[in-house]
Chains A and B, each alone.
Chain A
Amino acid sequence: MGNDVLPKEVIQQFSDSLVSDSLISKRLEDKNFGDVMVVGGGVSGIQASLDLATAGFKVYLVEKGPSIGGHMAQLDKTFPTNDCSM
């Protein structure tokens, strides 16, 4: 990948060939290459990461604390069913 975003059409032509497709993936994996970085592992960051991963993207979830969960993990129970927030 260069510094510029290639137009969508170019990428699609490029990826039509299976060989070059897998080659890109390989090279990209080596370089800590991802699609998206999510900053913050609270309920919102976790949901964004899950949705992106399910929709076909490689995600780096970055959290400054020792565990994901954020403030919601500290809550006891939640409105309105009083379900456990974990």
Chain B
Amino acid sequence: MEGKQGDFNVTLKTKPRYIIEDKCTGCTTCVQYCPVHYPDSFNQDISDNKAVHVYFSQAIPLVAYIDDSCLRLKDKKCDICSGVCKTGAIDFRQTIKKTDINVGAIILSSGITPFDPSAKEEYGYKTMQNVVTSMDYERLLSSTGPFEGEVLRTIDRKHPKKIAWIQCVGSRRVTQGDNSYCSGVCCTYTQKQVILTKHHYEDVQCTIFHNDIRSFGKDFERYFQRAEQLPGVEFIRSYASIEKEIPETRNVVVRYATADDGVKREEFDMVVLSVGLNPPKAYKEISEKFGIELNSHGFSKSDSSNPIKTNRPGIFVSGAFLGPTDVPESVFTASGASAQTGELLDYRRDKLARERIYPEERNVSGEEPRIGVFVCHCGANISSVVNMPSTVDYALTLPNVVYATEQIFSCATNSAKEITDIAKERGLNRVVIAACSPRTLEPLFRDTLREAGLNQYYLDMANIREHCSWVHARQKDEATQKAQDIVRMSVARASRLEPLKEYGLRVNKAALVVGGGIAGMTCALSIANQGHEVHIVEKSTDLGGMARRLHSTLEGLDVQTYLDNLIRQVYKNPLIHVSHEADIISITGYLGNFTTTLETEGRIKEIKHGASVLAIGAQEYKPAEYLYGENDSVFTHLELGEEIAKGNQTVINAESLVMIQCVGCRNEDRNYCSRVCCGHAVKNALKLKEKNPQMRIYILFRDIRTYGFREDSYREASENGVQFIRYTPEDKPLVEAVKEGGKDMIRVTIADPILGQRLELDADVLSLAAAVIPTESTSEIARLFKVGLSPDEFFKEAHVKLKPVEFATDGVFLCGTAHYPKHIPETINQAYGAAGRVLTLLSRDTVVTSGSISKINKDSCVGCMACLTMCPYDAITYNMGKRICEVNGILCKGCGNCAATCPSHSAELRGFDSGQLLAQIGAA
């Protein structure tokens, strides 16, 4: 790779597949005939595959490839696959192909490599058959895995009855070959594996040996509780080591220690090592080739004011190459990298990209219904419960059904192609997909119908997964019966489906950003730098938000300097308009065309915009406990940080300082972890130790959650003499004001689990890790923008994993701590992520509205306005002249409230009209 931003020349070497991609249909005949069995790397080498095979059943592209184990490639011995391939797709003459590509920017999303425990003998991996990694275990659980979703021991194909998980394998250890950082994902994925294991086999005993439970993410705490409360699941806080394998049973003995019983040994049928995340295997090569710097752990070296950017202009990083990240962060940093690329290359947008073209829509209105039913296995999610062949046979007996078949994954690319091909061949004019809920995949199947030249509303999805196989896993016969009932109802509705039209709407190119903190400003700048006007609405007199009260980050960012610079850029940008002291009064309109009315500095202002970003931040909980507000020596962590920055001598010269973690959260009122406080406490402790090395600092905690590279700072604090003492929620520290030798002190009493006695700590200063809570205006803003709140009353994103910065309400996006507490670098990444998603909307000229909207029969409507009061989208208006109600088709979201309310049956939802629904019910 050479060149510079705007003009990089990259030479790619493509390994030969020995398969002509255009000719291969993915039929896998070659795989059946291939004589070479070879460990399947997709299944973690637990089961075998062939030398020629498709990487996995939903691979994209879905074509075979031939790997190095092929006999022909080794010594020209075998040629069976060429003989059996009907399309002549096998081509052993292929060689390494070189391609030169010129691009303006590069995004490195090279991911991670799971930690390999075989490098260290002590883990027993590879030497003991029943020690597996968590990645191996994922494959064992999976329906496309080595045993088709059965968790079996490879050695004797027996179901393990006792499984142990050992946490922090390869992570949080400073020993040679391990990583010092916390991988951040293992606690929660282990809880997931435990929940899934118990779902597979109720009677399995699950034991988890862990250090701190790091449930720092959104909804993580509740998920942990869910796993912990399952019968037969035990979480044990102990370092655990693998002692030996028992030769006869091949069971594994784990050695651990508890406070009550001392050292114990226990035998398990299987041990899962919860391995951490390493940088990508080729990280050195990547860094050399692309000329980017790495940090000491081998991940990309990031600047905490913009982690996505690298030291080389025009090269960005997304996902886990930034450091250990979970899926949502990998997704929004990808959108963030897209936004920063957009800022760089805005001048060449739309020059090279091409629109997708669909075949012309066939008019089938005069035809009798000809329905095709596609019954999906969903791997084994459905087929392990519902009898597939009998459901297909049953579908064929239903009226208007002319074709029915089963598919392993209807959502896979090859299955979608099969559906379009069959629809064309058999002249289908309606399609029923018997699979999952329409929530995720309906758009995909609608697209499949368009590809077949059919109106996309000729689709019905029969939900035989969530409504059937998942809830009736243990009643197979009844579930099959129910699946057939659901298919029958679906076919009845499909027979009456009508084609519906969608309309294109012009997109207003401006954006509205609510909140002028770091998140809002970063997002606004990125959108403006891509040529769009942005209106920032800030409720206070100044920009800056909560960051005004923060002075440094653990990574060493000088927050105030950074913030001043950010504010300057915002005010300097001619495309950004800031409204101060602003209150939003109303929002009308819809995706691409919103009108927001607000009061700002005493004036009413109206803003028209195509997208909205909600970045209203969060606030600090005001503790009602531990003498806060009653004693001048009690601070919150945020206040303590401010006092340190101010140089408050009483604080800096304190002889003894106590911090109490988890104040106001991880309790009944707020069942979540505020995520930032452990890092915050460590940061303050390190600052204080730097200024006054003699100070005695005690941090009273429940779990220390310094995830990721913050673990290094936790270790540093510990090495610098900061004392960490664990407490439990049942036995919280007691705090009282006392006079000791004529001096006012705060006495903190706590049970020390290690010494087994009560400790009295006399402190000059007490600092509380006050929870991060939603702002007072969060619920009001949610109401105005018609967006949802999660159980903890932060904003609820559209999809935890795949749509982390957008709302279910179209055209409205979110970022920053209004979503959930987060550190500054995370907030910045998420703000860029929201900007990236906003640009996917604003860079288009038009957006398409749904065809499934309401209509009101003007002849039968009596103008009672019952529908109008029920409509949550203000899509219905009363026509005074005609004395009837009318629907604004653009505002209508197709919820059907009006249709359900209308006493004269005048309101109907297209695609769900009475005829269709009654037919469906009639078939039940």
Residues of A within 8 A of B (CB): 1-6, 8, 11-12, 15, 21, 24-25, 28-29, 31-40, 42-48, 51-58, 60, 62, 65-84, 86
Contact = CB atoms under 8 A, between A and B. Distances in A.
A29 B142 CA distance: 42
A11 to B, nearest CB: 4
Given A28-B351, A79-B188, A39 B107 contact: yes
A73 B58 contact: yes
B7 A82 contact: no
Interface stretch (B154-162, B331-339, B818-826): B331-339
B9 to A, nearest CB: 10
Interface residues of B, number: 90
Contact of B195 (A2, A6, A82): A82
A17 B490 CA distance: 53
Q: Which of B44, B345, B379 has the most CB of A within 10 A?
A: B345
B101 A34 contact: yes
B138 A75 contact: yes
Main secondary structure of the interface of A (DSSP, over half): mixed
A14 B442 CA distance: 43
Contacts of A69: 56, 58-60
Nearest to A70: B111
B141 A77 contact: yes
Contacts of A4: 6-7
Interface in B347-398: 347-353, 378-379, 381
A21 B141 CA distance: 53
B278 to A, nearest CB: 12
Q: Which of A3, A70, A76 has the most CB of B within 10 A?
A: A76
Contacts of A43: 319, 327, 330-331, 334
B481 to A, nearest CB: 24
B60 A48 contact: no
A81 to B, nearest CB: 7
A84 B800 CA distance: 13
Interface stretch (B74-82, B713-721, B836-844, B899-907): B836-844
Contacts of B103: 33-37, 60
A57 B341 contact: yes
A9 to B, nearest CB: 9
Contact of A66 (B55, B327, B330): B55
Contact of A38 (B99, B107, B139): B107
B189 interface: yes
A22 B8 CA distance: 22
B622 interface: no
B335 A47 contact: yes
A65 B67 CA distance: 11
Nearest to B351: A25
Interface string B139-174: 101110100000000000000000000000000000
A70 B42 CA distance: 10
Q: Which of B4, B8, B191, B801 has the most CB of A within 10 A?
A: B801
B352 A34 contact: yes
Interface of B: 3-8, 10, 12, 17, 42, 44, 55-56, 58-61, 65, 99-112, 114, 135, 138-139, 141-143, 145, 188-189, 191-192, 195-196, 199, 219-220, 222-223, 280, 286, 318-321, 327, 330-331, 333-335, 337-338, 341-342, 345-353, 378-379, 381, 409, 411, 440, 800-801, 836-837, 839-840, 843-844
Given A47-B318, A57-B353, A86-B409, 14 more contacts: A33-B102, A35-B105, A36-B105, A37-B8, A37-B101, A38-B109, A43-B330, A44-B331, A45-B334, A57-B352, A74-B138, A74-B139, A79-B220, A80-B222
21 contacts: A15-B351, A28-B351, A35-B103, A35-B351, A36-B104, A38-B107, A40-B109, A45-B334, A54-B840, A56-B843, A57-B341, A57-B345, A57-B348, A65-B55, A68-B60, A73-B56, A75-B142, A76-B141, A79-B188, A82-B192, A82-B199
B45 to A, nearest CB: 12
Contacts of B108: 39-40
Contacts of B195: 82
A4 to B, nearest CB: 8
Nearest to B17: A66
B478 to A, nearest CB: 23
A25 B60 CA distance: 28
Given A42-B319, A84-B381, A79 B189 contact: yes
Contacts of B114: 71
Contacts of A32: 99-102
Contacts of A29: 352
A62 B191 CA distance: 33
A75 B400 CA distance: 39
Q: Which of A6, A45, A57, A78 has the most CB of B within 10 A?
A: A57
A39 B138 CA distance: 25
Nearest to B339: A51
A52 B60 CA distance: 19
Contacts of B44: 74
